[in-house]
Each structure stands twice: as structure tokens, then as C-alpha cells.
């Protein structure tokens, strides 16, 4: 029986400690922004640098005067890519911490929260660039900083058309995609573009947890593939490339990564099979651009380096920066930021916001929440991503 008392006493202590931690708020305190990070879940490999970028930006901003003298507080935690955890944390940050805006992460949680954020009027930016989130009728409070997967796909296919013409071949494209809403998102829009332009096009799902993709690659060979577009994260794409190299496919098939496998991690994991692979990259991996200098210096002051954190750090940094810019402009216009509709209106009026060449300039409108419709094609050359085109553009009609 004594053990129960001990247990009960412990619970009481914890409850009291929690109660003491609550409270706070007020209009002239810090500006609170909610955030979801994946630090321990299945996408933690890319989620961690992205989260570090968001946190780093806020710390850097506060050290440089904050927003009009007010500090910004990022209220964020790991949700391990679990949708119900995301819902719970979101509910707490919005209802108790009174955050005015939200930075999310994956397609699963962003889709799941889409209805809630519209009800609560919380402007939301995440690292999911699914075109479903771009239409203000469907998702009025979602804003996309990156080029949508569908537009990235069209950009990739435009490049394929040019390249096939140069080589004098008939383009036959196979899309290898993650078996999830994230993976499937650009497949139908790619199909449409392919049909209109006479490209032979098919798609093959990469089963979750697969350790060998040779059967799927053989299927693609039977189709007569000469271009492969990959919509998956780095680990899946690296596996595909290694298997393709063993089959001798990398010599006559051009592999193209969309943004979530076009990163430094992919090059590392593919272990030499990555040479010559193309990447459609809305966020540059070139850290000599002006927009990468602040994160670079900030990290160096912490004894870290941007080369260590990689391009997802810059991606997180500038996503947070775009949201904060929307809040700042709302404050400058003397409007109440506690009403999300004001921030939404400000973001919709934002035109050509410069990210210092990390991305193309960002513009939103009240009929289209795609902030960016451009990306540069990069290629892996000698273990590094090197841009081989200027910005290419695609803005397919919203449904």
C-alpha cells in the first residue's frame, strides 16, 4: 500500500509543478508563433535541420531587435510525425499559449490541421508543398513558401522535353513516389502535362520499408524508361539510385529528384551512385547567396557551420522569416495580430519578398497561396549540387 502513496505523492508534485508553469500572455509580451518539429520520428533526418533553422532564425531575430522591438517566441516541440500528437500540441499552443501563427512540418499534420486552422484563423506555413494546400477556397489559412510538388513536377517534365529534343529521343518518364499523400501529390498533375505534351508517363509506388527496389526498377525498364522522377525523401531515393546502379540503369536513364531528395543527405546516402542526378530545387544549396550569409554567421557564432546543417536549415530559416515578415507588416499597418484574418490579408498583399536569392522572390495573392512558382535544376557534380539552369517557372491552374 505504501508504494501507492509514494506514487500518488509523485503525481501530485508533477501536477502542481505543471500548474505553476501555466499562465502568462498579454498583448505587449512576446509575439508567439507555434511550431511542430519532427526530431524523433520517421522524417527526423531532414526535420531536425529544418527545425534548427526555424529556431535559429528566431534567436537571431531577437538578438537583432526582434519585431519592432518586441521579442518573438517560438512555442514548438517534437511531435514524432504523429498526427494525433500534432493535433494535441496545436490545440494547446492555440488555446493556452495564444500563438498568432503556426509553422508546421509534414503533409500528414498539415492536411489534418487544415480545417482547424481555418476555424481558428491561424496562418500556417509548413514544409509540405502539396498543391491541395494552395487554394484559398480549400485551405484559406495555408501559405506555401516552396514551389508546389506539382509545379516542381511540371518543371522537371519541361526540362525532360528540352533534353529529349536535344538528344533526339522519345521521352518515357516513370515517377517513383513514396506511397503516401506526400508521394502521390504531384502524380496526377504530371500525368496531365505529359498527356498534353506527348510524353509517355507512368508511376510506380515505392513501398514503405522496402529494402530492395530492383523489382520496381525492372518494371520501369520494361516500360522503356529514359527519365525517372523521384518524389520521396533522401533515404528512399538513395536506395533507388544504388539499386539502379547495380542494374546498370544510371548510364542511360536520367534520374531527377524533387525537392525532398535533392539535398546533401541524398549524396551521402547514395554513396557514389548520385553523380549526374538532377534535382528540382526551389531552395538553393549554394551558400554564397546573400540570403545564406545571416544563417552562416549565426551558426559560426555557435561553433556550428551551415555546411554541417545543410540546405534544410536555410529552408526552415526563410520559412520562419516569411511568416514573421507577414506579422511585422501587419503590426506596421497598426492592425491587431491577434486576429489571424489581418495577418492573412497582409500575407496575401505581400509581393516580391526577397529571400536573398535563396528562393525566387515570394508573392502571395488572395486567389493563390503559392508564394513561389520557380525552381532551379541542379545536378550532382563531384559530390555537390551545382545549378545547371536559371530559374524555371510553372504555375498550373488551381482546382
CB of 70 to another protein, least distance (A): 18
Please identify, using beta-carbon distances, which residue of 80 and 161 lies nearer to another protein: 80
CB of 46 to another protein, least distance (A): 16
Binding to another protein, residues 50-89 (CB under 8 A)? 75, 77-78, 80, 83-85, 87-89
Report the SS3 class of residue 354: coil
Is 303 a binder of another protein (CB under 8 A)? Answer: no
CB of 354 to another protein, least distance (A): 31
Which of these ranges, 12-20, 281-289, 311-319, 330-338, lies near another protein under the rule CB under 8 A? 12-20
Nearest of 255, 263, 305 to residue 281 by alpha carbon: 263
Is 96 a binder of another protein (CB under 8 A)? Answer: yes
The burial of 356, by beta-carbon neighbours within 10 Å (0-12 exposed, 13-18 middle, 19 or more buried), is given as middle
Is 3 a binder of another protein (CB under 8 A)? Answer: yes
Among 86, 94, 194, 311, binds another protein (CB under 8 A): 94
CB of 40 to another protein, least distance (A): 5
Alpha carbon separation from 365 to 75, 171, 349, 356 (Å, rounded): 28, 35, 6, 21
Q: State the DSSP code for 104.
A: -
Please identify, using beta-carbon distances, which residue of 10 and 388 lies nearer to another protein: 10
DSSP string, 136-149: TTT-TTEEB-SPPH
What distance in Å separates the CA atoms of residue 283 and residue 37, rounded to the nearest whole number? 19
Which of these ranges, 15-23, 219-227, 247-255, 360-368, lies near another protein under the rule CB under 8 A? 15-23
Among 140, 181, 356, 361, binds another protein (CB under 8 A): 181
Please identify, using beta-carbon distances, which residue of 45 and 87 lies nearer to another protein: 87
Please identify, using beta-carbon distances, which residue of 45 and 286 lies nearer to another protein: 45
Alpha helices in the chain (DSSP H): 2-21, 44-63, 83-95, 107-120, 149-167, 181-184, 187-197, 214-223, 234-246, 264-270, 293-301, 306-309, 311-332, 340-348
What are the two backbone dihedrals, phi and then psi, of residue 380, each rounded to the nearest 5 degrees?
-80, 115
The burial of 160, by beta-carbon neighbours within 10 Å (0-12 exposed, 13-18 middle, 19 or more buried), is given as buried
CB of 44 to another protein, least distance (A): 9
- Give the strand order in the sheet containing 124-125: 72-78, 31-37, 101-103, 124-125, 142-143
CB of 87 to another protein, least distance (A): 7
Residues in contact with another protein by CB under 8 A are 1, 3-4, 7, 14, 17-18, 21, 39-40, 75, 77-78, 80, 83-85, 87-89, 91-92, 94-96, 108, 111-112, 114-115, 119, 179-181, 183-184
Amino acid at each position: 500500500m505504501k508504494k501507492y502513496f509514494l506514487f500518488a505523492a509523485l503525481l501530485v508534485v508533477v501536477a502542481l509543478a505543471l500548474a505553476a508553469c501555466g499562465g502568462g500572455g498579454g498583448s505587449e509580451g512576446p509575439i508567439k508563433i507555434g511550431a511542430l518539429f519532427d526530431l524523433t520520428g520517421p522524417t527526423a533526418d531532414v526535420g531536425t535541420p529544418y527545425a534548427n533553422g526555424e529556431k535559429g532564425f528566431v534567436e537571431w531575430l531577437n538578438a537583432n531587435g526582434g519585431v519592432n522591438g518586441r521579442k518573438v517566441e517560438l512555442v514548438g516541440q517534437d511531435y514524432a510525425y504523429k498526427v494525433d500528437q500534432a493535433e494535441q500540441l496545436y490545440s494547446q499552443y492555440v488555446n493556452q499559449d495564444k500563438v498568432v501563427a503556426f509553422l508546421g512540418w509534414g503533409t500528414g499534420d498539415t492536411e489534418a490541421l487544415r480545417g482547424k486552422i481555418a476555424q481558428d484563423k491561424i496562418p500556417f506555413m509548413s514544409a509540405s508543398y502539396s498543391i491541395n494546400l494552395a487554394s484559398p477556397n480549400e485551405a484559406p489559412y495555408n501559405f506555401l513558401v516552396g514551389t508546389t510538388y506539382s509545379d516542381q513536377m511540371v518543371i522537371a517534365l519541361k526540362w525532360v522535353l528540352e533534353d529529349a529534343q536535344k538528344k533526339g529521343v522519345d521521352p518515357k518518364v516513370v515517377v517513383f513516389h513514396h506511397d503516401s499523400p506526400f508521394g502521390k501529390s504531384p502524380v496526377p498533375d504530371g500525368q496531365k502535362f505529359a498527356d498534353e505534351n506527348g510524353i509517355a508517363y507512368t508511376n510506380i509506388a515505392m513501398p514503405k520499408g522496402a529494402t530492395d527496389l530492383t523489382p520496381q526498377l525492372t518494371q520501369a525498364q520494361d516500360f522503356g524508361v529514359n527519365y525517372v522522377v523521384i518524389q520521396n525523401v533522401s533515404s528512399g531515393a538513395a536506395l533507388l539510385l544504388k539499386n539502379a546502379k547495380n542494374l546498370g540503369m544510371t548510364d542511360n536513364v536520367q534520374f531527377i529528384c524533387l525537392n525532398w531528395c535533392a539535398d546533401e543527405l541524398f549524396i551521402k546516402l547514395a554513396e557514389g551512385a548520385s553523380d549526374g542526378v538532377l534535382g528540382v530545387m526551389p531552395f538553393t544549396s549554394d551558400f554564397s547567396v546573400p540570403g545564406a550569409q545571416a544563417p552562416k554567421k549565426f551558426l559560426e557564432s555557435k561553433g556550428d557551420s551551415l555546411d554541417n546543417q545543410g540546405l534544410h536549415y536555410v529552408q526552415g530559416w526563410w520559412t520562419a522569416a516569411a511568416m514573421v515578415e507577414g506579422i511585422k507588416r501587419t503590426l506596421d499597418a497598426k492592425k491587431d495580430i491577434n486576429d489571424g484574418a489581418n495577418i492573412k490579408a497582409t500575407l496575401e498583399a505581400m509581393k516580391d519578398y526577397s529571400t536573398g536569392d535563396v528562393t525566387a522572390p515570394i508573392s502571395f495573392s488572395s486567389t493563390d497561396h503559392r508564394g513561389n512558382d520557380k525552381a532551379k535544376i541542379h545536378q550532382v557534380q563531384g559530390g555537390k549540387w551545382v545549378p545547371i539552369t536559371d530559374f524555371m517557372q510553372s504555375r498550373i491552374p488551381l482546382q
